[in-house]
A and B are shown apart, each in its own frame.
Chain A
Amino acid sequence: MRTFLIRRLLAAIPLIIFVTFFTKAMLVLSPGNFLDELRLKPNISHDYLERMEQKYHLDSRNVFERYWYWLKPAMRGDLGDSFVTAAPVTALIGNRLLNTLMLTGAALIFSWALAIPLGVLAGVYRNRWVDKLCSFISFFGLSIPSVFFSLLLILFAAKTGWFPAGGIHDQINWDYMNGWQRFMATLWHLVLPTIVLGTLGMAQYMRQMRSEMIETLSQDYIRTARAKGLSQRRIIFRHALGNAINPLVTLFGLSLAYLLAGALLTEYIFAWPGLGSLVYEALRDKDEPLVMAAVTMLVVMLVIGNLIADLLLAIIDPRIRLE
């Protein structure tokens, strides 16, 4: 177990280096830098610009050199200050990271909570109306573009006024709310983005769950259980479900990257202040330290997520041993 963890974390290092280097390279190679816009403003002193340029080596076009200037302090845990706000990037990212975790977590819960029961139902009542309905839902979920879906939901929210059209909480009343009200307000804002982000995953999991269920139910040991006279409910929940669910956990690990990519668009559309919209804004402003830090966090999150998926799989599937 410990060797497994250590090995996995060591294996993550080249990945982090690859991704951050790629990001840095793209940023260095892109035309212009953060200072271009400041140069146009008359109230910014020439001295300041020079100092910034010196401090961040913005004049250097050597990718390796620039990467090294980022990596050296980063290895000590210093990810630098944002160009735009001059605050340490870690302070800027912390909250955003939590928001993204909240959104993706909610989306995961949404997709699992719907996909497993529906998938089981569809698998058990194969080719009946439940199955047809489920296959319709999953085709819909797989095909609807998240951008379009979000806009439809915002349209729905704007027409009915039942849900907020964007943001993470009420800006005006937030200061006067107690803890419970704040929680409810955030939850309320979370509903639509969660539906958008969770739908694709739900469709995939549901399909997978259905086919796993069908396959498991055709196995010999299920027939044995039937022959023993066990009830249908006991067969499905005690005997079939546990085995059918394994591949879903594998799929969960693989879908993390998709989930985070989808979160970027969803956050942007719903004005959700998460990591995705942060990266988008930072890229637009050419705020290099912020982009780098956010991307690093992203990869770390992915590595941890995959690790959790593997551990989960080892817990529920006794055939798998971690080494």
Chain B
Amino acid sequence: MADRRTLEEARREEAAERALEAQPIVMERAPGEAVVETLPTAAPDRVAAVDETTLPRPARGRSPSQIIWMKLRRNRTAMLGLCILIALYLAAVLAGFIAPYKYDDADHELPFHPPMFARIHFFDEQGKLSRPFVYGIAPVAGEHAVYNEDRTKRYPLRLFIKGSPYHILWLIRSDVHLFGVDQPGRFFLFGADIVGQDIFSRILYGAQVSLSIGILGILISMIIGMIVGGIAGYFGGVTDFLLMRGVEALLAVPSLYFILIMRQMFGTGLSSMQLYLIIVIILAFNGWATEARVIRGMVLSLKEQEYVLAARALGFTDTRIIIRHILPNTLSFVIVTATLSVPFYILGEVALSFLGVGIQEPEASWGNMLSAAQSPRYLSDFPWMLASGVFIFIAVMAWNFLGDGLRDATDPRTLSE
């Protein structure tokens, strides 16, 4: 049994290789067997050797990260993803400035006001071109959520208008908003929700929650994954066996059940900050197992390399060898998986908030905004409630684009292309 691969092992290995797809890392290797291939950053001298023989002249002397960046820049979808992500994260950081209202600024007189981007007027009553303006809002008496334009009042759209105070990154305090209309006019770019909150503003504030959970979650699970994977792969034996059985058990449970059951432990009645942290912790706790397993596989092959032997011969401690010498070499792979798994965290938050156990109103998140759109009646009458879903879609797609591009760019097999 020792030397014959059982079906289970074969399947597991094959699966891991599939997951890596383009990453030609041999998952498990008997000691003493030659190490054939590593990632570009794994052995800089080797990559340089490839450079000289296969790449055209101008490429000589480029570092692996420069090569990756070069290849990434040539990938149009990846660059599109990157640009979208930069725009989205910038918008999230500057939410207070870009959003005309605060996320909990409700106008209870105006529930479900339709989007106003089609109601921006460029010509006045005489048909003359004027600066863009919107009319006042006149609720139709006796009807729920039906509105007419009040032609007697005109509110020009102003840039850099004064409004409610806000912070940017807890540092800059201001009350100047990018655009808006004067009080008592209201400007709902993407419409209003059930209590008359501006959906556009809530999407921006929601982006702060939903997008940052993605980054924070992946950071934490990568750290746990690297520690556990590093220990399991480096020490092997019983440690490896036990840790990996734990990882497999974690992976066997369908993630959403796991997340919901773990969420149960924390109970209800928590502050929004606590909830945020809890969601990050739960998602990270659920996500590290995947990373740990793959990192372990890489460490298994890396630890057989000469430079590790050299480090051992120099008498370095195991901790130092793992942290300083082995784990940094898994980094390019780690970055690729991290990029590809960010959507998992974004969608995890969406699922939790949608199920009502995540971020609570009036705090905005993309998930709880969708949750407000649940009932079929609301949906067909006020479809703009789905606006946050479009943003989730865009964000997830952008991360996938970037992740795919990075994976192709770090693939040593395409180095010569």
Contact = CB atoms under 8 A, between A and B. Distances in A.
A121 B396 CA distance: 27
Contacts of A313: 7, 11
A152 B383 CA distance: 9
B15 interface: yes
Secondary structure type dominating chain A contacts:
helix
Interface in B245-299: 245-246, 248-249, 251-257, 260-262, 264-267
Contact of A298 (B4, B6, B11, B254): B254
B399 to A, nearest CB: 9
B374 A269 contact: yes
Nearest to B346: A145
A26 B257 CA distance: 12
Given A154-B376, A155-B383, A295-B261, A145 B396 contact: yes
Given A29-B265, A147-B370, A280-B260, A15 B347 contact: no
Nearest to B1: A323
A256 B267 CA distance: 29
Contacts of A4: 7
Contacts of B355: 265, 268, 280
A322 B14 contact: no
Nearest to B262: A26
A299 B252 contact: yes
A145 B350 contact: yes
A151 interface: yes
A170 interface: no
Interface in A3-60: 4, 8, 14-15, 18-19, 22-23, 26-27, 29-32
B160 interface: no
Contacts of A310: 7-8, 11
Q: How large is the interface on A (under 10, 10 to 19, 20 to 34, 35 or more residues)?
A: 35 or more
A283 B400 CA distance: 33
A248 B267 CA distance: 41
Interface residues of B, number: 52
B354 interface: yes
Given A298-B254, A302-B252, A147 B261 contact: no
A226 B248 CA distance: 44
A154 to B, nearest CB: 5
A251 interface: yes
Interface stretch (B88-96, B118-126, B143-151, B385-393): B385-393
B261 A264 contact: no
Contacts of A147: 350-351, 354, 367, 370, 389, 392
A143 B80 CA distance: 15
A201 interface: no
B386 A247 contact: no
B355 to A, nearest CB: 7
B389 A148 contact: yes
Contacts of A69: none
Contacts of B354: 147, 265
A32 B256 contact: no
A84 to B, nearest CB: 16
B343 interface: yes
A158 interface: yes
Contacts of A31: 267
Contacts of B128: none
Interface in B380-407: 380, 383, 386, 389-390, 392-393, 396-397, 400-401
A308 B257 CA distance: 22
A261 interface: yes
Nearest to B77: A139
B43 interface: no
B86 interface: no
A225 interface: no
B367 to A, nearest CB: 8
Contacts of A148: 370, 386, 389-390, 392-393
Given A151-B374, A247-B18, A269-B374, A264 B254 contact: yes
A279 B380 contact: no
Indicate the member of A26, A165, A260, A269 with the most B CB atoms within 10 Å. A26
Given A145-B393, A257-B252, 14 more contacts: A15-B248, A26-B265, A30-B267, A32-B267, A143-B400, A148-B392, A166-B376, A258-B254, A261-B255, A265-B355, A276-B256, A291-B261, A298-B257, A323-B4
